[in-house]
Every structure is written in structure tokens, then in C-alpha cells.
């Protein structure tokens, strides 16, 4: 068993749970695994594997909300308890509590994000009213997050995460519990193996410091990205920079004062010094020459 776990660890770079005959990946046992050839083992390793950890609860608030909703939906059906709820014997009170907690936290996430957006809208309107140079009157931001949409009808007590852990443990402690059910309920941590050749940078761009393009992407386990740039000067895409940080500001000289141009960027992931995977989508940023003030 030690040798077996070591092979799995080497393939995935993570300590993984291996399903037993009673588990879910086709009833694959350790004995069956050891009889696989190298190609079969690699294919098996590509299956989503469960990481052995007790901390299955998402740390990010938005992801935690999604996890709560997934847990609730796996147990609360449209017409009553689901098959999983019946299998593990969740009571009516438990199911209602799980549902109300999920609704309450989802509402918090919605309002929290809407509040920030709404506040930013008012700030922009105020800036335009005070010092703007436009020829059209600014409009008032709409969609007051304090009134729309209305909150859930049932209030919940503090401690949603604690209750979530207890309700998850309720099924996990049962001898009939299998990992496949936990994945369906969102109470198992899963990860996909890192395959460098399958990467595609999620490149994003906007105006940053001093009107220069600010690019960002998710670095993950890659070394960084190679950035290619098309300045729309007839030269097409040419190599611009190798970027090892998840953000990059292009401080190339801006156009003449008052003149605008569209700069387009694309990127390849770098892994061990080589470009790998698929090129990102093209990202366009409009830049304008600004008056330099002392």
C-alpha cells in the first residue's frame, strides 16, 4: 500500500484518496491498479481525484456560498427531500436549516457585491458632476442594493459555517458514506491534475496607472507568460515581454496628446522556460495620449 500511494503521489503531486471496491471509480481496487500498464495508470491519474484533507470548507466567501448552495440543492429537491437526503436520514428540521443558511449567505454575497458596485457608480457620478468635461448630463445610478431584491423571508442565526460542518459530518460519519456522494454534496475537496500543455491564460486588460494598459492573468503553477502585442501599426503581433508576476503594466510610450489607439494583447503560458498550451483570447485596450503635468 505504501508503494501504491507513492505512485499516485508522484503522478498527481498531491496525496490522494484511493477509492476502495465499494467506492465509485468503476470499483477499481488497489490490486487492479497495480496490474495496469503505464499508459493505463496515466489515464487513471487524469480522473479527478479527492485530496485527503479535513478542511473541505471553501475559504473564499463567494465560493463558500456556492458550496452551501450545492449542499442544499443536493438534499432539498423541488418537491421534497432528495435521494441523498433519504439515504443519510436528514430530518426535516436539518434540511430546512441547510436551505435557509444557503439562501441567507447567497443574499449576503449578492448584496455585498452590489453594494460595492453601487457605491462606485455614485463616486463616478460625483466625479463627473464636479469636474467632468462631458456634454451630456450624467444619470443617477440605479438599482439601490438596499431595496432590490428583497431579502429571504427567514432569518438565520450566526454560525453558518459551524452548522455546515456539523451537517456535513452527519453524513460523513456514517458507514455507508462514499466519496462520490460527498462530491455531489460539495463536501469533498477535489482537484484536477496539473497538465501544463492544457493551459490557456485567462488574460484580462484595462487602463491602469497613467493611462497605460494593465494586464492580469491567473498564474497557477506556471512560470509566467509571454506577452505579444499588436499596436495596430501594421506590424501585427510581436513579442513584448516575459512576465512572471500575475499583473503587468505596459509602460510603452502613449500616442500623441489627444490621439487614441487600440493596443491588442495575447499571451502564452510559460513552463520550464518554454511556451505551452493554447494562446489566450485577444484583449484590446484603448490608450490615449495625455497631457503631462508637473
- Cα separation, 78 vs 171, whole angstroms: 21
Average pLDDT, the chain: 81
User: Is the whole model's pTM more than 0.75, yes or no?
Assistant: no
Q: What is the CA radius of gyration of the chain?
A: 26
Summarize pLDDT for 7-46 with one digit per residue, the tens: 444 444 333 333 343 333 344 444 554 556 655 555 545 4
**Predicted pLDDT at 43:** 53
Share of the chain above pLDDT 90, in %: 50
The alpha helices in 132-233, defined as continuous H runs, are 160-172, 179-185
Summarize pLDDT for 150-183 with one digit per residue, the tens: 778 888 899 999 999 999 999 999 999 999 999 9
Task: Please give the order of strands across the beta sheet that includes 213-216.
Answer: 204-207, 213-216, 247-249
Amino acid at each position: 500500500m505504501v508503494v501504491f500511494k507513492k505512485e499516485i503521489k508522484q503522478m498527481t503531486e498531491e496525496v490522494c484518496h484511493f477509492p476502495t471496491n465499494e467506492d465509485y471509480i468503476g470499483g477499481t481496487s488497489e490490486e487492479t491498479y497495480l496490474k495496469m500498464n503505464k499508459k493505463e495508470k496515466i489515464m487513471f491519474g487524469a480522473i479527478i481525484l479527492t485530496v485527503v484533507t479535513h478542511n473541505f470548507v471553501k475559504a473564499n466567501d463567494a465560493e463558500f456560498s456556492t458550496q452551501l448552495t450545492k449542499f442544499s440543492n443536493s438534499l432539498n429537491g423541488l418537491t421534497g427531500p432528495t435521494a441523498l437526503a433519504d439515504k443519510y436520514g436528514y430530518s426535516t428540521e436539518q434540511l430546512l436549516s441547510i436551505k435557509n443558511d444557503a439562501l441567507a449567505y447567497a443574499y449576503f454575497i449578492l448584496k455585498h457585491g452590489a453594494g460595492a458596485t453601487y457605491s462606485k457608480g455614485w463616486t463616478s457620478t460625483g466625479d463627473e458632476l464636479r469636474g467632468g468635461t462631458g456634454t451630456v448630463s450624467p444619470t443617477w445610478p440605479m438599482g439601490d442594493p438596499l431595496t432590490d431584491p428583497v431579502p429571504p423571508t427567514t432569518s438565520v442565526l450566526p454560525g453558518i459555517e459551524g452548522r455546515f460542518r456539523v451537517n456535513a459530518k452527519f453524513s460523513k460519519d456514517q458507514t455507508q458514506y462514499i466519496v462520490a456522494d460527498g462530491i455531489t454534496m460539495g463536501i469533498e475537496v477535489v482537484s484536477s491534475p496539473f497538465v501544463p500543455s492544457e493551459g490557456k491564460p485567462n488574460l484580462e486588460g484595462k487602463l491602469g496607472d497613467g493611462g497605460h494598459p494593465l494586464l492580469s492573468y491567473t498564474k497557477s503553477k506556471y512560470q509566467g507568460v509571454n506577452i505579444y502585442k499588436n499596436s495596430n501599426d501594421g506590424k501585427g503581433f510581436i513579442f513584448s515581454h516575459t512576465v512572471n508576476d500575475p499583473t503587468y503594466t505596459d509602460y510603452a510610450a502613449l500616442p500623441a496628446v489627444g490621439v487614441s489607439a487600440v493596443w491588442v494583447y495575447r499571451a502564452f503560458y510559460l513552463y520550464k522556460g518554454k511556451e505551452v498550451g493554447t494562446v489566450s483570447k485577444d484583449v484590446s485596450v484603448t490608450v490615449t495620449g495625455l497631457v503631462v503635468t508637473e
